[in-house]
Amino acid sequence: MAGGTVEEPSSGDVIHPKVHYLNATKGLKSWLVTLDHKRIAIMYLIAVSVALLLGGFWAVLLRTELLSPGGVGEQANFVLSNDWYNKAFTLHGAIMVFLFIIPGIPASLGNFILPMQLGAKDLALPRINLFSWYLYIMGLIFFLGVLFLGGLDTGWTLYPPLSSGRPVQMSLIFAYTAVFILGFSSILTGLNFIATIHKLRPRGMTMYKMPLFLWALYATSLIQVLATPVIGLTLGLSMIEHVFKVGIFLPQYGGDPVMYQHFFWFYSHPAVYIMVLPAMGVQSELIAVYSRKHVFGYKAIAWSSIAIAAIGFLVWGHHMFVSGQSPTAGIVFSFLTFLVAIPSAIKVFNWVATLYRGSIDFKAPMIYALAFIYLFGIGGLTGLFLASIATNVHLHDTYFVIAHFHMVMVGSVLTAFLGGVHHWWPKLVGRMYNETLARICAVLVFVGFNVTFMPQFVAGTRGMPRRYANYLDEFTIFHQVSTVGAYILGAAVVIQAGYLVHSLFKGKKAPPNPYGGASIEWQSTSPPDFHNFTEEPITTGAYDFENWQYISEDEGYKLKPKVLVTRQSLSEVH
Amino acid sequence: MMADLALGSLLPLADAGGSFWFPPEASSVAAGSDFTYDFILWLSILFFVAICGVTGYFVFKYRKRPGHTEEITSTHNTRLELAWSIIPLFLLMAIFGISTYWYLIMVTPPTEDVTEIEVTAKQWNWTFSYQGNGLPAGKKFMVPAALHVVKDRNYQLIMTTPDRDVLHSLFIPAFRVKQDCVPGRYNKLWFRPTMSHMESGNEDGFMLYCTEYCGRDHSVMTARVFVWETEAEWRTAIVKGGDITQIKDLVTRGESIYNQNCASCHSLDGTVPPGGGPSWQGLWGKEETMTDGSKVVVDETYVRDSTKEPGKQVVQGYPDVMTPFDWGDQNDAYIEGIIAYMKSLKE
């Protein structure tokens, strides 16, 4: 033990700091002009949560309409007219995709955790970070503008001629503008993350020593930077065509609507991986921490993120098997789509293998992580039916597709988002939430999901088309069960919002490391200091849980003395 | 009502004559699609049960409890990881092979004995046009919302949408076929029905849906498919459905045309649906102001012009969105009916 005495960890240390990033400066202005990545992350978290509730509101509304069949070929409606039903699913899709799922995990959790997992003080480009939040808010305002201008009924995909081919419509122009602006927000966040990961890794942390969450964010950022400009340009062209009647995608002016679909999915398919990769990153952290095991197959998980990002660029045509695209192109896209299943499967197998001989703690975040394996399992496997063209032709644009992509995009992204928010909540706000309620809600989310989407698979194979305000009586039971599931899911999310907000005021103060995470962010206080760390953090293995021991007095984990020696010897070197 | 909600009613089979998953297999490609589906289904179930089983076992066996601690195990195992990458890869290639084999059959129409049927998709109705094949010569029969075919014959649909319209998609679940209808293109779709609608128990015909979202009344844009046993039945049905002059009373004829083609945009009660045009209530003989400020009386000429070239004279305050109508050699008979019907609304 070179370097003299090492203090035994005990509750003697300051574990509840009086001054931290939340109260270092005060007043609204100190938040609105902050360059602190943690505050920006909190502002993002609030904004994306508002978007989640807003998108969820439309989902509940449209599921309510579908309680009653109305009869195909008739105009009988339950709560929404056909027109409002169409607006409801358009707004649900657009808000959820552009305002919640895409920015959700990277901009909120990523923004907060990424620099801290690197032991850094901030992102590489703090001003750009704040700017991207303002862009996001501008996008949000434009989307609210769409609502106030009477809504939009084009579907979130904004396919022409139904969108740009109509007489000039302000709400459509607002929607184009919103997505365009949100795209820049997304690009800037991605750029910032790439720069940070390359430039701000601490001494001793090679790429292969980063937590897998960072690999996932890195892969995500690559896609954001490379793919997002395409959607910006596509919608820009659509707007020009819509306002000035220039033929680009509109057949009446000599344009080609199928070309729009190519452009659109060239972004929007990789966008699916922008959504799901960060979720997989969170998942890798949760599984490791709550089974107290080094993640199995680290390199395979890391490289599968990169492989998904790369192959993800080459599969967009699988959205267009029946669009009139040539069968040869269809077959090539089908083949590439099957390839992307492999890295996804590798990740799942690795997570399961990580559990082996662990000590599995059923805290709320772990319940989400286990739900993730199940839901992503279904989502991924049902993707095979859609990658295969012989079955895709029948299933395309039916409820089977709806169920599939909700299982993947929401079943994994929402569960990972909720799991991640719970996992890092003590770090984010310095308070503990009600664990019992959190566990109940986690189970409710899981049950709600299955009740909502499992019946939709069968409705889909039986031929129930999507985006139908009315349907045949034979589908009634599927829709009614599904609606009940949506209510369960909605209730769980609202209860969560309730107890999380409650914990801010009444929650028990959190120790620095309540759950025993081994990555660097847990070496800071909860909530962290304005500068993130008051002393230089030690670069220990992100999954070397044996470096930490539980101190029951603190109700949290502390680094073992032998690890603390490293810090001391390091400071002697310098 | 509550009985409907009981789980038991989940069990009835899909459609008449279908299985748990699917409507009846009523075309030559349906069996291939379903075989592929079943193949993937059983492989998926195998993997899903394995993943959940192992997860469940680990989660139970290694649950946190007093006296149990985690062990440090190896953090990777190249052979295991290669195995669970390469074996699924082979299985996926098997799925790809089977699927592509059937897909190629789906998209390769027979070279002879193929009857062509023209399909026009419009917001929000389907029109199927037939000619030849023993139908009265020189005439094109345009049948709204009903696709008539004969069992065990090859058909090719030549599908399009007017330039000013939007995307649609033709989907017949019982045939397992689907193809988008794109303005400015002629997309083709072939199939051979192998089961008549009567055999399958669907007396009202198989369902035909629009599955590409096409605006307000997307969910109303459906049609029926009738698979007849003999060509004679087929001819009778087409002549009955596709010869508007069979309806001798002009007002009745007009009403039928209205319901099929006009009702989703033009009401009879003075209201205007979103994106729709002027209500027909009291419209006949009324003087309307056009977008260019000119005044036009709604008379025979105006009605005729408006079906042929709707964008020429648009009433002020309404969007220029109507698509032109052309009923071929029956055009006069159709317009006669529409005019008579509009006049009758005035009375």
Sheet holding B125-130, edge to edge: B141-144, B125-130, B114-122, B154-160, B187-191
CATH class of A38-573: mainly alpha
Torsion of CA A78, A83, A84, A89, to 10 degrees: 100
Helix axes A257-291, A327-354, angle to 10 degrees: 10
Residue B86 in any domain: the answer is yes
Q: B290 and B216 in one domain?
A: no
Number of domains comprising chain B:
3
Stronger pLDDT, A109 or B216, i.e. the higher one: A109
Residue B317: predicted pLDDT: 87
Residues 6 or more apart whose Cβ sits within 8 Å of residue A176: A158, A235, A236, A238, A239, A242
B3 in a structural domain: no
Task: Among B244, B275, B301, identify where a domain stops.
Answer: B244
Which pLDDT value is given to residue A69? 86
B288 touches chain A (CB under 8 A): no
Q: Does B10 touch chain A (CB under 8 A)?
A: yes
Q: Which of B95, B211, B273 sits opposite A338 (nearest CB)?
A: B95
Taking residue A356's Cβ as centre, other Cβ atoms within 10 Å add up to: 18
List the structure tokens of B288: 């309307």
pLDDT number for residue A365 = 97
Place of tokens 């559990």: A355
- Domain of residue B168: give its range: 114-244
- The answer, as to whether pTM is greater than 0.90, is yes
Mark whether B118 and B239 lie in a shared domain.
yes
As a whole number of angstroms, the distance between CA B253 and CA B249 comes to 6
What is the helix, strand, coil percentage profile of chain A, to 5? 70, 5, 30
User: Which one of A348, A356, A461 has the shortest CB-CB distance to B73?
Assistant: A356
CB atoms within 10 A of CB B11: 8
Chain B interface mutation, best of A67, A90, A322, highest count of B Cβ atoms under 10 Å? A322
- CB of B89 within 8 Å of a chain A CB? The answer is yes
Residue A63's Cβ-count burial label (10 Å; 0-12, 13-18, 19+) is buried
Residues in B closer than 8 angstroms to A258, CB to CB, are: 182, 185
Q: Are residues B200 and B180 in the same domain?
A: yes
- The one-letter amino acid code at A49 reads S
Residue type, B224: R
Contact state of B216 with A83 under an 8 Å Cβ cutoff: yes
Question: Are B92 and B131 within one domain?
Answer: no
Q: What is the 3-state secondary structure (H, E, C) of A465-495?
A: ECCCCCECHHHHHHHHHHHHHHHHHHHHHHH
**pLDDT for position A569:** 55
Percent of chain B with pLDDT over 90: 59
Say how far apart CA B204 and CA A226 lie, in whole Å. Answer: 52
Q: Roughly what angle, to the nearest 10 degrees, separates helices B78-107 and A327-354? A: 150
* Mutation site, A461, A466, A484, A547, interface B, largest B CB count within 10 A: A461
- Helix (H), strand (E), coil (C) string for chain B: CHHHHCHHHHCCCCCCCCCCCCCCCCECCHHHHHHHHHHHHHHHHHHHHHHHHHHHHHHHHCECCCCCCCCCCCCCCHHHHHHHHHHHHHHHHHHHHHHHHHHHHHHCCCCCCEEEEEEEEECCEEEEEECCCCCCCCCCEEEECEEEEECCCEEEEEEEECCCCCCEEEEEHHHCEEEEECECCCEEEEECECCCHHHHCCCCCEEEEECCCCCCCHHHCEEEEEEECCHHHHHHHHHHHHCHHHCCCHHHHHHHHHHHHHCCCCCCCCCCCCCCCCCCCCCCCCEEEECCCCEEECCHHHHHHHHHCCCCCCECCCCCCCCCCCCHHHHHHHHHHHHHHHHHHHC
Between vectors from CA A22 to CA A20 and to CA A24, what angle results, nearest 5°? Answer: 60
How much is the pLDDT for B4?
Answer: 36
Task: Please report which helix (H) or strand (E) contains residue A101, including its range.
Answer: none
CA distances from B140 to B11, B51, B123, B136, B330 (A): 45, 59, 22, 9, 8
In a domain, residue B1? The reply is: no
CB atoms within 10 A of CB B177: 21
> What Rg value do the Cα atoms of chain B yield, rounded?
28
B window 167-226, beta carbon within 8 A of A: 167, 169, 171, 173-174, 176-180, 182-185, 187, 207, 209-220, 222
* Contacts with B14 from chain A: Cβ below 8 Å: 458, 461-463, 474
- Is B229 found in the same domain as B120? yes
Q: Who's near A490: CB < 8 A, 6+ residues apart?
A: A56, A59, A60, A448
The reply to whether residue A356 touches residue B62, judged by beta carbons under 8 angstroms, is: yes
CA nearest A180: which of A95, A250, A98?
Answer: A98
Distance from CA of B269 to the nearest CA of A (A): 15
Chain B residue with Cα closest to A259: B182
Among A70, A352, A471, select the one facing B55 at the smallest CB separation: A352
CA distance B9 to chain A (A): 7
Of A257, A298, A393, the CB nearest to B183: A257
d(Cα A206, Cα B95) in Å, to the nearest integer? 40
Beta pairing partners, B129: B118, B142
Q: Which residue has the tokens 């609202």?
A: A494
| Among A299, A353, A357, beta carbon nearest to B71 | A357
**At residue B13, does pLDDT exceed 90?**
no
Q: How high is the pLDDT of residue A5?
A: 44
Q: Are residues B154 and B221 in the same domain?
A: yes
pLDDT, tens digit, 9 for 90 and up, residues B14-69: 556 688 999 999 999 999 999 999 999 999 999 999 999 999 999 999 999 999 99
Letter for the amino acid at B71?
Answer: E
B173 contacts in A (CB within 8 Å)?
394, 462-463
Provide block-wise average pLDDT over 10 residues at a time, chain A (574 residues).
43 72 93 96 96 95 90 62 92 96 96 96 96 97 94 94 92 96 96 96 91 96 95 96 93 92 95 95 97 95 94 95 93 96 95 96 96 96 96 97 94 95 96 96 96 96 94 92 96 96 94 94 94 88 92 89 70 50
Q: What is the pLDDT of residues B224-263, one digit of tens each?
A: 999 999 999 999 999 888 888 888 899 989 988 888 888 8
Using DSSP, state whether A237 is helix, strand or coil: helix
Give the count of beta carbons closer than 10 Å to the beta carbon of residue A519.
24
Q: Note the ipTM here.
A: 0.92
B259 and B334 co-located in one domain: yes
Rg (CA), chain A: 24
List Cα–Cα distances, B72 to A293, A348, A357, A539, A546, in angstroms. Answer: 7, 20, 8, 20, 9
Q: Is A337 helix (H, G, I), strand (E, B) or coil?
A: helix
The answer to whether the beta carbons of residues A83 and A153 sit under 8 Å apart is yes
Look at the block and give the residue holding tokens 């290694």: B62
Q: Do B70 and A361 touch (CB under 8 A)?
A: no
Check: CB of residue A212 under 8 Å from CB of residue A354: no
List the single residue in A86, A252, A330 with the smallest CB-CB distance to B216. A86
Q: Distance, in angstroms, between B56 CA and closest chain A CA?
A: 9
CA distance to partner chain B, nearest, from residue A420 (Å): 20
Among B212, B269, B320, B323, pick the best mutation site for testing chain A contact (most A Cβ within 10 A). B212
Residue B254's Cα: distance from chain center in Å? 25
A320-357 pLDDT, tens digit per residue, is 999 988 999 999 999 999 999 999 999 999 999 999 99
Structural domain includes residue B4: no
CA closest to A481 among chain B residues: B5
Looking up residue B240, the CATH number of its domain turns out to be 2.60.40.420
Q: Which of A342, A462, A469 sits opposite B219 (nearest CB)?
A: A469
Separation CA B188–CA B159 (nearest Å): 6
What digits encode the pLDDT tens for the residues A173-185? Answer: 999 999 999 999 9
Which two structure tokens, joined as six digits, stand for A61? 């509304």
For chain A, the domains span: 38-573
What CATH number did the domain enclosing B93 receive? 1.10.287.90
d(CA A320, CA A238): 19
Shortest distance, CA B224 to any CA of chain A (angstroms): 11
DSSP class of residue A398 equals B
Signed CA dihedral, A33, A34, A37, A43: sign only: negative
Instruction: Count CB-CB contacts under 10 A for residue B323.
Output: 16
Same domain, B332 and B311: yes
What CA–CA distance (Å, rounded) separates A274 from B280? 51
Q: How far is CA A452 from the centre of its chain?
A: 20
Of A83, A335, A478, the CB nearest to B274: A83
318-337 in chain B: CB under 8 A from chain A: 319-321
